[in-house]
A and B are shown apart, each in its own frame.
Chain A
C-alpha cells in the first residue's frame, strides 16, 4: 500500500503506517488526517512533533503517561490527560497520532 503526497508515493503497511520513518514529511500527516476527516491544528502538531522527538531519542512511542505529562508541561496542566488527547485524536493518541507522525504502530497487549 502507499499514500500519495505532493506528487510522491510513500509506502505504508496494511493499516496505513509509514514503512520508512525517514521518508516522513509534514504533508504526510496532513494527508492522513484528511483521510480520517480531521484538520490538523497547532495543538495536533504539538503532539505530532513531540512524538517524533521522543521516538528519535528512544526508538519507541512514549507511554501514555509520559505523553500526557509532557503535554501538561508544554500546553497547560488542564491538557495533560488522556481525555484531551482523545479529543484531538479520536482513534487514540497512541495509534492515530503515531500514524500521522510516521511512527510504527505500537502493538502488544494494548
Chain B
C-alpha cells in the first residue's frame, strides 16, 4: 500500500519564485492511477487499452483536429518564441522541461506533425516530428496529468495558444483508447449514478443539511433553512458537493443559506443535480460534459425554479458561464430578468449593493485577508456586467464584510493568477508530488504578503483550491486553517433579522 510519508522534497520558499535551470526528466516517474474498466465503460470509453491503440489514437487525433479548429491552430502556430517557458507553476516547481507549456504541447505536436503534415511525413527530424510509440503514450499519460489546465501560459503566448485545450485533447485521445485516469473517470461515473462527485445519496444529503439548520439556529437563533428538492422554490442552488462534505467549504454553504434567507427568496438544492463541478471538461469530453450538464437542466425543470445560481466552484463556473446554454439550453423556462446562470458572488454583491444585508465587519477582525483568484474564474469567465468583474466582485464582497484586506503581488493575481496546483483533475493523493511542487509560486506570493502586510488568511471561491490549500499549506510550514471560503466570511459578519447579537460567534 501507498506509504503516507512523502517520498519527495518540498521546494524551499525563496524571496521570489525563481526561474530554475532546466533539469530533464525530474517528473518522468509520476503518473496517476489508471481507471478501472468499469469506470471507463460507464463513460462510454473502452474498458482497457485496446489492441489497435496506435491506429485508434491517430484516428481520434485526426477527428479532434478537424472537429476543433482551435486545436489545429494551436498545433500549427507555435514559433518556439519562449514566452511561455517560465509561466507554468509546474515547471517553476519541478524544473522539468516537459512541464514548460511548449514542452507539454510538443508531446502531442510531434505526433501530429509526423502523421498529418507534409514536412513531418517526409523529413521528420527536420521539424521535430516523431513516431507514435508505446513510450509516447505513457509520456502523454504522465505529463498531460501534470497540467492543471489553468491557462496561465495562454495569457503570455503571443499566438494565444491554450495548452489546456491541448491537454484536454490528449486526455480525450487516451480515454478513447481505454487509457483513462482513475480519479476523473471514477468520479464522473459516480456522478452519473448518484448525482454528485462524492457519491452522497439523497438521505445523506438531507441528514447533512438538517444538521446545518440545527447548527445555524443554535448559533444565531434564526431558523435558516437549507432545503432539499423543494418544488416551486425561486432558486436552484448548484454547488460543489465538497460544500456538503468538507471544511472550509461547508462554512461557505452556511453563508449562502444566510444570504438567501435575508434576501427573502426561497431556494433549494437538488439531490438529482447536487454537483456543480463538471469533470467532463477535465477529460476534454464534450459528451460527458453534456451528460453532466443535462442533469442541471432536468432538476431546474422538475423543481420548477425561476433561477439557477452556482456556488463557489471554479471549473463549474467556467462550464456554467461558457458552455451551459449551448450544452443544455435553452433555459427559456427560467426568469429572463436574471442571468442564466448566475454566480453566488453576483447574487450576494447585488444584495449588498441594494442594502439588503447588515454586517458587523468586526466579526472578521481577527483575520487579515488576501484573495486567491481561481484560474478558470479569472481567465475563462466573467461576473457582473463589466470586464474584470470576476476579479472585482469577489474582492468587493470580502471588503464589504472584512476590515483588513491586502492583495498578493500583482504578477500572481487577476488574469495572471497562479493555480493552486490541484486543478484540472489533479486533486488526488497519487499526484501529491506535483500538487505540492506546483503550489510553489502561489505559496511564495502568499508568504510574502503575510510578511509584508500581515495577512493571516487566504480566501478562495473554488472547492478544489480550498481542498488543495488545506493539504499543501502545511508542506510549506503554514497552517491548514488559513484557507477560508468567501461566504464563510459573509457568514461570520452577517447580522440576520432577529439574530441574537449578544454573543455573536466570531470564529
Contacts and interface: CB of A to CB of B under 8 A. Distances in A.
B186 interface: yes
B255 to A, nearest CB: 14
A14 interface: yes
Contact of A82 (B183, B186, B247): B247
Contact of A59 (B201, B211, B428): B201
Contacts of B199: 59-60, 106, 108
A62 to B, nearest CB: 8
Contacts of A82: 247
B335 interface: no
Interface stretch (A22-30, A42-50, A63-71): A63-71
A63 B428 CA distance: 18
A59 B204 CA distance: 8
A91 B198 CA distance: 19
B126 interface: no
Interface in A95-110: 95-96, 106-110
Given A66-B207, A107-B187, A58 B1 contact: no
B377 interface: no
Interface in B401-427: 427
A108 B198 contact: yes
B186 A107 contact: yes
Given A36-B4, A65-B250, A109 B208 contact: no
Contacts of A94: 246
Contacts of B215: 65, 69
Interface in A54-98: 57-60, 62-66, 69, 82, 91, 94-96
A15 interface: yes
Interface string B309-344: 000010000000000000000000000000000000
B2 interface: yes
Nearest to B466: A109
A108 B247 CA distance: 13
B198 A65 contact: no
Nearest to B471: A92
B211 A66 contact: yes
Interface residues of A, number: 28
B159 interface: no
A1 interface: yes
Contact of B201 (A15, A58, A95): A58
A15 B208 contact: no
A6 interface: no
B245 interface: yes
B240 A1 contact: no
B198 A106 contact: yes
Given A16-B2, A60-B201, A63-B208, A108 B33 contact: no
B197 A107 contact: yes
A108 B204 contact: no
Contact of B242 (A14, A62, A95, A109): A109
Contact of A3 (B1, B197, B430, B467): B1
A14 B182 CA distance: 11
B429 interface: yes
Contacts of B211: 65-66, 69
B200 interface: yes
Contacts of A58: 201, 203-204, 207
A33 to B, nearest CB: 12
A106 B200 CA distance: 10
A95 B429 CA distance: 10
Given A12-B1, A58-B201, A69-B211, A107 B428 contact: yes
Given A58-B207, A63-B246, A107 B200 contact: no
B395 to A, nearest CB: 23
A103 B212 CA distance: 24
A14 B430 contact: yes
B361 to A, nearest CB: 25
Contacts of A35: 1
A5 to B, nearest CB: 13
A58 to B, nearest CB: 4
A60 B195 CA distance: 13
Contact of A15 (B2, B197, B203, B249): B2
Contact of B245 (A3, A36, A110): A110
A21 B95 CA distance: 42
Contacts of B203: 57-58
B212 A65 contact: yes
A44 B268 CA distance: 37
Given A15-B429, A60-B201, A109 B240 contact: yes
Nearest to B244: A63
B224 interface: no
Given A107-B198, A108-B277, 4 more contacts: A35-B1, A64-B245, A69-B215, A91-B4
14 contacts: A1-B1, A58-B204, A60-B199, A60-B201, A63-B245, A64-B245, A64-B247, A69-B211, A82-B247, A95-B429, A106-B199, A109-B240, A110-B198, A110-B246
Interface of B: 1-2, 4, 33, 182-183, 186-187, 196-201, 203-204, 207-208, 211-212, 215, 240-242, 244-247, 249-250, 277, 313, 427-430, 463-464, 467
Interface of A: 1, 3, 12, 14-16, 35-36, 57-60, 62-66, 69, 82, 91, 94-96, 106-110
